[in-house]
Amino acid sequence: MRHSQLQAALRSALSVEWGGLYLAVRESLARERLAALRMTFAATAAVLGFQLLQHAAGGAVLVERVGVVRAALPLWESLARTPLSLFVPAPDLPAWGAAAQVFVVFGIAELTLGRRSTLLVAYAGTLAGTLYARQGVRQGPAALFGLPWEDAWVRDTGPSAAVVALAVAVAWRYRAWVTGGVVTGAMVLEELLFPNLAGAEHLAAIFVVSVPALCMVPLERGCSSAVACRAVPRAPR
């Protein structure tokens, strides 16, 4: 295959995979410009703000009380802290990585899914990870999806579960099957090679987003069939 043919094939593949997503992003930015990313800017600022706060004098205690979740905490306390825990990055990892993830993925989701749906998916993914961690620790390491008991005291914060959930949701919405498959496959591979609480929660986030989407497939097919049937002209009697 010649170089020009290879380029044409690559452009065609990219258009199939990301064409709809690109058009949706471009349309939203053209319509509202940077105002379309208000939530994304706020979320990114929250990640950076919590990072600065937890490294300031006395700030770590405040962050612990309002935004740090652990499976060992009472359920009501974990649920109360979960909304802010999404924006609390790990103190021993570079905050720019978490902020970049939030800016890119939240930004694309806000432009394509809308602000409310983005928040719903992000918190659904985060909450799924939080609740799974509690159940997994309760079952113990001997169970199929159980977790080591020491994970009850692992700090369970950060935007990664929300980012993974949003990436899969956007890929599903715009039929970017390769992208969604790569994200899911990478999370499965990560958990197989380096099993840890974060990796298990990423899979829980993917699960909670994928199940409703899979349940919608029969409905979408039914609607498509109904539209097609109505579009076919009837033979004259």
Q: Name 74's Cβ contacts closer than 8 Å, sequence gap at least 6.
A: none
Task: State mean pLDDT over 24-30.
Answer: 89
For the ranges 81-85, 210-214, 217-221, the maximum mean pLDDT occurs at 81-85
pLDDT of residue 55: 87
Query: For residues 187 and 206, is the Cβ–Cβ distance under 8 A?
Result: yes
Give 132-158 pLDDT, tens digit per residue: 999 999 998 888 888 999 999 999 999
Could you identify the residue written with the tokens 């080591």? Answer: 148
- Work out the number of other CB atoms within 10 angstroms of the CB of residue 125: 30
pLDDT of residue 215: 54
Q: What is the DSSP code (8-state) at residue 57?
A: T
Judge if pTM exceeds 0.75: yes
Q: Name 45's Cβ contacts closer than 8 Å, sequence gap at least 6.
A: none
Task: State mean pLDDT over 205-211.
Answer: 89
More reliable by pLDDT, 126 or 93: 126
The pLDDT of residue 223 is above 60: no
The pLDDT of residue 224 is above 60: no
Where do the domains of the chain lie, and which CATH numbers do they carry?
A: 12-215 (1.20.1540)
Distance CA 205, CA 147 (A): 16
Q: Which two tokens stand for residue 63?
A: 């962050």
Give 28-59 pLDDT, tens digit per residue: 888 888 888 999 999 999 999 999 999 888 88
